[in-house]
Amino acid sequence: MSGKFLITAWMLVSATCPVLAADVQQLASRLAEYDKPAKEAEVGYKTSANIVGASPVLADQAVNNYLTLVGKTLVKNSGGDSYRWTFAAIDSPDINAFAAPGGYVFVTKGLLKALGSEDEVAAVLAHEISHVRLKHYVKVAKKQVLAEYAMKSLNEGQADGQLEAMSKAATLILAKGLDKQSEYEADFQAMRILAQSGYDPSALVDVLSTLEARSSDKGMAFLLSTHPSAAERIQSIGGCCVDAYQQYATRNQGTRARFDKAIKTRL
Amino acid sequence: MLGVSCSFAFAETAKTIKAADLLKEPSATATKVLSVPSGAQLTVSEKKGFWVKATSGNQTGWLKLSEIELQVTKAKIDPMATGRSGSGNIVNTAGARGLSPDELKSAKPNPGAVDSAVKVSSSVTDADLSSFASAGGIASRSNVPPTSLSKNAKSSSTSSVTVSSSSVKSGSGRKNDEW
């Protein structure tokens, strides 16, 4: 929990209602539990149920299996972590991808169809893995839940109430988007994961160039409303890592055939 | 899928932020076409990984993304093409479902579908990963330097990328502390 935010919330509450201030602090310490991977995963499970409730998981398990192989290779080769990862495609023509706390990553069929190589699939997954590892959604959800409670709209007495509130907040944040800084941060982290894993970090720029070229597609509206423009993201990558990462910018030719088989000719 | 494409054109230009060489190929060892000073105006025609193909005067060549500042100008949108105005121009994707923020917020949760997805991913073992990596020639690299938030990213909406748009509003104008 951000100290600055906590102090602001406390000041706000204590100014209007001195009794509530202590409760807010109590809730803040209880919400700190959601920093643990197992608790994050509880939020992520419910958030994912909303994602796949809105648009179903792709029935083609060969595609989901391929995404899992690429995704788990990224996780493993970049040092591993304590999340149990799930990677799946969702059956939507839109161009988008989602991460939910605790290790859930979903990519739309529309985005997969726009990609040209396994390195590009890895780039999309690495961006989403980074959101999870950086706890972006959990951090903002905690702030939201605390703010809601300060407004007395949350029954904090029940543990279920907190999980429900955290999942609802995480879903709303997915719908509304994180701040720009978090997106740049996920891009930079993704570059490193790609380089560590043996993939080509410059593939992320190619994905963004594709998004830029297609930014007037109807299926891009959601992604564009929740992310900085592709041009801004490309520019920030230019500033962060191009010179240091040039040495890793080599496309993997050995993955061409299996990408074509799993994605290109299948979707 | 009846997507809408090319309803507005990108006229993308760039300015060098340091003295740079336009190269014949997107490779550091390629032949130099032309040297340009810092602040040179270029027209961008193609991007490839960390490289950008650009023209200065009548000379075209490749330079690195880290040597330029992109300036994107979106031409005016054709409302007929976007399906946003007028009747009968609504563009739809027949038979296929989109996924909007509202649909996400009002979705009926489907935990069973999450369980199925978890099952598929959980069935991938460490041994599967090893053979997948070796079959594709994917090998982990050590000592990859960390990336850090650059000065560019911190102020990119105002200074490092110029995006001007006449009628499209994207989410990129949101302030960091909205939450």
Task: For residue A17, give Cα distances in angstroms to A147, B77, B109.
Answer: 14, 51, 36
Of A127, A77, A120, the closest CA to residue A106 belongs to A127
Maximal C-alpha separation, chain B: 60
Which of residues A202 and A241 earns the better pLDDT score?
A202
Percent of residues, chain A, with pLDDT higher than 90? 79
Of B58, B46, B56, B40, the closest CA to residue B12 belongs to B46
Of the residues B1, B46, B138, the best mutation for testing chain A's interface (the one with the most A CB atoms within 10 Å of its CB) is B138
pLDDT of A85 above 80:
yes
CB A74, CB A122: distance < 8 Å: yes
B95 at the A interface (CB within 8 A)? no
Beta strands in chain B (DSSP E): 10-16, 20-23, 32-36, 41-48, 51-56, 59-64, 68-74, 162-164
Give the integer Cα–Cα distance in Å for A39 and A225.
Answer: 29
Provide the residue-wise pLDDT of chain B in tens; the chain has 179 residues.
Answer: 333 333 344 558 999 999 999 999 999 999 999 999 999 999 999 999 999 999 999 999 999 999 999 987 654 444 333 333 333 333 433 345 668 999 999 999 999 999 999 999 999 999 999 999 999 999 999 999 998 654 444 444 333 444 443 333 333 333 333 33
pLDDT for the residue A20: 67
Average pLDDT of the residues of chain A: 90
Interval A254-263: pLDDT, tens: 999 999 999 9
Contact A179 B1 (CB under 8 A): no
B166 at the A interface (CB within 8 A)? no
pLDDT for the residue A12: 57
CB B53, CB B47: distance < 8 Å: yes
Q: Which residues of chain B lie closer than 8 angstroms to A132, CB-CB? A: none
Rounded to 5 degrees, what are φ and ψ at A185? -60, -40
Of A236, A179, A173, A174, the closest CA to residue B174 belongs to A179
Rounded to 5 degrees, what are φ and ψ at B169? -110, 125
Of B10, B129, B98, the closest CA to residue A56 belongs to B98
CB A137, CB A100: distance < 8 Å: yes
pTM value is 0.83
Give the integer Cα–Cα distance in Å for B57 and B175.
Answer: 38
Interval A235-248: pLDDT, tens: 999 988 898 999 99
Interval A94-128: pLDDT, tens: 999 999 999 999 999 999 999 999 999 999 999 99
CB B154, CB A160: distance < 8 Å: no
Which secondary-structure segment (H or E) carries A219? Answer: none
pLDDT of A10 above 80:
no
Give the integer Cα–Cα distance in Å for A87 and A82.
Answer: 16
Domain residue ranges of chain A, discontinuous segments joined by +:
38-136+176-264
Which of residues A155 and A57 earns the better pLDDT score?
A57
A167 vs chain B: nearest CA distance in angstroms? 11
B154 at the A interface (CB within 8 A)? yes
CB A77, CB B140: distance < 8 Å: yes
The dihedral through the CA atoms of A111, A113, A116, A119 has a sign that is positive
CATH 2.30.30.40 is the classification of domain B10-74: yes
Residue of chain A nearest B28, judged by CA positions: A246
Contact A56 B139 (CB under 8 A): no
pLDDT-derived band at A234, boundaries 50, 70, 90: very high
Contact B163 A64 (CB under 8 A): no
Amino acid A8 reads T
Contact A224 B171 (CB under 8 A): yes
Residue of chain A nearest B119, judged by CA positions: A86
Task: For residue B5, give Cα distances in angstroms to A108, A190, A218, B2.
Answer: 19, 28, 8, 9
pLDDT for the residue B115: 98
> Between chain A and chain B, how many beta carbons pairs sit less than 8 Å apart?
297
Domain residue ranges of chain B, discontinuous segments joined by +:
10-74
